[in-house]
A and B are shown apart, each in its own frame.
Chain A
Amino acid sequence: MMLTLLALAAIVFLALVFGALLGFASIRFKVEGDPLVEQIDAILPQTQCGQCGYPGCKPYAEAIANGDDINKCPPGGEATIKELATLMGVDAKPLDAAHGVEDVKKVAYIREDECIGCTKCIQACPVDAIIGAAKQMHTVIIDECTGCDLCVDPCPVDCIDMVPVAVDSSHWEWKFNKVPVGDIPIRHMS
């Protein structure tokens, strides 16, 4: 009898100790926010274009975390889908064509002599990459432009073009099929 009580007491004691330990740990090492959403958001291309149907990359990241499809991001394309699939532990699917197709990298370009200075594109730009003031010409900061397309529709005079980014030699991907001639000799006949 005594032994049973002792065993019981020991178990209860251990339960209390571990309970306290876990309780302490849950407070001490509390994680703010949802790390999964942050991880997904880090993979998304941050164009904030809304082609996925959500108002920005973070909301889409939250939606993915809540079980939405991972193939709704055309700017990210296959590479992003692959990464998301690895992170979420699901199979990579082809890009959902309903949300657009993968395109070359583009930036917005304002034909400045046609701009009437209505500021509509400035309000539409999700990353503040357009500068200008009312009735003054606007222009795009190319380095900040994500190529999201959102400024094109609001423009009342259609003076915004999406221009493909030109490749320079430091960004060249060593793909010879994209230039007229050229290869590397590499091997020398012995």
Chain B
Amino acid sequence: MFADYDEIIERISVNQLWDFPGGVHPPQQKALSNQSNIETLPLDKTFYVPIKQHIGVDGRIIVSEGDSVLKGQALTASEAPFSVPVHAPTSGIVKKVTEHVSAHPSGIPELSIIIDADGQDTWIPLKPVADYAKTGKSELIERICDAGISGMGGAGFPTHIKSNNTKPLEFLIINGIECEPYISSDDRLMREHAWQIRQGIDILVHILQPRQVIIAVEDNKPEALETMSIACQQKTNYQVVSVPTKYPAGGEKQLVQVLTSREVPSDGLPIDVGCIMYNVGTCYAIADAIVEGKPLIERVVTLTGKSFKSPKNVWARLGTPIQTLLKHGDYDDSTQSSPRFIMGGPMMGFTVTSLLTPIVKISNCILVPADNELPHPDDERACIRCSACSDACPASLLPQQLFWYSKSKELEKAEEYNLFDCIECGACAYVCPSEIPLVHYYRQAKADIRNQREEKEKSDKAKIRFEARKARLQKEKEEREEKHRIAAEARKASLNKDGGAAKDKIAAALARAKAKKEALAKKQTQNEAPGATAPESDKTEVVSKDEVSAESASSQTAVSTANETEQAEQVLSSTANESSDITAEEDAEESAKATAAAKKKRVAAAVAKAKAKKLAAKQIKKENNES
């Protein structure tokens, strides 16, 4: 279906390339900035180094506040496969490890290491590889990782992951297209440093062993084409190719299609069609890392737009705040009614939220347009379904449908229309006569879908945990019940085994309790029986009544009930033990004369009081229950 190796080689040699669908031709503005050599920025005082500047996971921070660091010293360590370290851009002191505004459209603060420069700019001891051709593949890849290199074309994919290829590779493609209309950083890099880029390519060839190397440069950069051709002329399997200018020819999938006619599958990588692609800036950084031993601490940044009096390209250390670059490019604020600074190009860039936004590994351009240069994206009108966007789409999608579904939040439908194949190049928005910021809608929809997927994953996890917990609690409950059941059975069994003995024990205990109660009742009869005859006992009753009346009205009724009960008890006990009653009466007569009489009165009063209180409480409770 796609062209085979020989056909591709033949067509490339006669420069008859293929094409990708759609694309646009925005007016070229590269001449603004590509006329002069790359300058070096004067050393800044403070650098803000975000610890994550690539796609993947953060490294572990290995410096702490107050440490002094040397230029090129690693600030984070790469521990996970998809993590890439960052390095100190100059020598100085780690002032703070804190959140700082990120080089991201949202500007949401991200963890960054703030370094105060000491002005010495002292390198750490560099360890270059003496001869890469004699060095093992895995060691070189490790070096590339330790140098902190991630794709410098825009996506920031970790280079060591890409380089660790095991699939058959036909074409190593070096991307010098730079299709964004304003940016010229790769252009200047190729013009001035073609030899070093060649070195980087040589190292990659050593690692990857491709059959053919294709260096693709857009035909609007004839000088870069020439220098690259000169640099690569000795190598027979290196081919510098001039690609017709069309945006977005620099997109990875688009460039593969232009050069080889092969289409990268929707969820695949270029290696699935036998290609691997690197940006020229990445090749330069690889040569730096291997041949010089220098980690990635600076990159070329284009300062362009009509608000710069002297647009140019500069070597900017990573972590430099953009205000320094604005100053260096002579930013003229009279050309802008409201300040507007764009990081990246006009097609895919974003407006930064703060002048302290740092330059990161993927920042290739600072565009500061004058008021009349770029439109403000607030004149959106209704979609007229003209389908100009689908003609322009390089991924052959239906942008108007995607827009429709993204706007109405019908995310499933949007996914069905292959929303995730959108490379967010902005060609559709560029041609839209209604000036709809289409890509903005796609980005929102993509973010929504990603967040929903994550939530779904999380809710599945929560469900599993919830069910596991329920099962655990159920099991614990059953175990507890089982334990209780076994204990009860053991009790029963022991009761039966002892047979009469245990039962006798209980009976004996009951008998003892009964006897005690009877003795108590007897004593009471002894105390109260004389009350009927002796005047002293009358006094006892009065005392008890007096004390009780102090309590409450309800307890008075309780007292009477108490007395009634007492009497009833007396009757009961007297009928039961008539003989003892008689002796009790005799005893009472004796004791009445005795001096112990007073003490007995007190005891009786206390007993009566306690009883009355208890009964009163009972009655109140009863009343409450009834009511």
Contact = CB atoms under 8 A, between A and B. Distances in A.
Interface of A: 41, 44-48, 56-57, 126-129, 143-144, 146, 167-169, 171-175, 179-190
Given A46-B466, A174-B105, A190 B26 contact: yes
B342 A185 contact: yes
Contacts of A167: 106, 108
A144 B351 CA distance: 36
B196 to A, nearest CB: 32
A129 B465 contact: yes
B577 to A, nearest CB: 58
Interface residues on chain B, size class: 35 or more
A13 B369 CA distance: 86
A45 B463 CA distance: 9
A185 to B, nearest CB: 5
15 contacts: A45-B459, A57-B466, A128-B469, A143-B458, A168-B108, A169-B110, A171-B450, A175-B444, A180-B353, A181-B107, A183-B437, A184-B350, A184-B440, A185-B347, A189-B375
Contacts of B426: 184, 186-187
A49 to B, nearest CB: 10
B462 A48 contact: yes
Interface stretch (B218-226, B237-245, B428-436): B428-436
- Which among A129, A169, A179, A185 has the highest number of chain B CB atoms within 10 Å? A185
Contacts of A184: 105, 349-351, 377, 426, 437, 439-440
Contacts of A174: 105-106, 440, 443-444, 447
A182 B352 contact: yes
A72 B459 CA distance: 18
A155 to B, nearest CB: 19
Nearest to A148: B462
B139 interface: no
Interface string B412-443: 00000000000000100110100101111001
A187 B437 CA distance: 8
Q: Which 4 A-B pairs have the closest CB atoms?
A: A46-B459, A127-B465, A46-B462, A169-B104
Contacts of B461: 144
Contacts of A182: 105-107, 350-353
Nearest to A166: B108
Contact of B106 (A48, A179, A189): A179
B263 to A, nearest CB: 26
Contacts of B108: 167-169, 172, 179
B375 A187 contact: yes
B589 interface: no
Contacts of B463: 41, 46, 57
B462 A188 contact: no
A169 B106 contact: yes
Nearest to B448: A173
B444 A126 contact: no
Nearest to A82: B409
A105 B108 CA distance: 18
B532 interface: no
Contacts of B451: 171, 173
B466 A188 contact: no
B181 interface: yes
Interface in B350-409: 350-353, 367, 369, 372-375, 377
B465 A181 contact: no
Contacts of A46: 459-460, 462-463, 466
A173 B437 contact: no
B374 A185 contact: yes
B22 interface: no
B377 A187 contact: yes
B462 A127 contact: yes
Given A174-B447, A185-B369, 10 more contacts: A44-B459, A172-B106, A173-B451, A182-B107, A182-B350, A183-B437, A185-B342, A186-B377, A187-B435, A190-B27
Contacts of B470: 56
A183 B455 CA distance: 27
B440 A185 contact: no
B124 to A, nearest CB: 30
Nearest to A175: B444
Contacts of A48: 462, 466
B181 A188 contact: yes
B59 interface: no
A56 to B, nearest CB: 6
Contacts of B349: 184-185
B468 interface: yes
Contacts of A146: 458-459, 462
B465 A128 contact: yes
A167 B444 CA distance: 14
B304 interface: no
Nearest to B467: A58
B351 A188 contact: no
Nearest to B424: A184
Nearest to B456: A42
Q: With a 10 A CB-CB cut-off, give which of B352, B375, B459 has the most chain A CB atoms.
A: B459
B102 interface: yes
Contact of B466 (A126, A169, A183, A190): A126
B351 A187 contact: no
Best-surrounded residue of B375, B443, B463 (most CB of chain A within 10 A): B463
Nearest to B180: A188
A99 to B, nearest CB: 18
Q: Which of B27, B448, B451 has the most CB of A within 10 A?
A: B451
B346 interface: yes
B105 A185 contact: no
Contacts of B444: 173-175
Given A146-B462, A174-B443, A185 B430 contact: no
A76 to B, nearest CB: 9
Interface string B460-498: 111101101110000000000000000000000000000
A56 B349 CA distance: 46
A182 B104 CA distance: 10
Nearest to A56: B466
A189 B466 CA distance: 56
Nearest to B430: A187
Nearest to B451: A171
Contacts of B443: 174
B440 A127 contact: no
A40 to B, nearest CB: 12
A54 B440 CA distance: 41
A56 B426 CA distance: 46
Nearest to A44: B459
A139 to B, nearest CB: 16
Contacts of B352: 182
Contacts of A181: 107, 351, 353
Interface string B261-275: 000000000000000
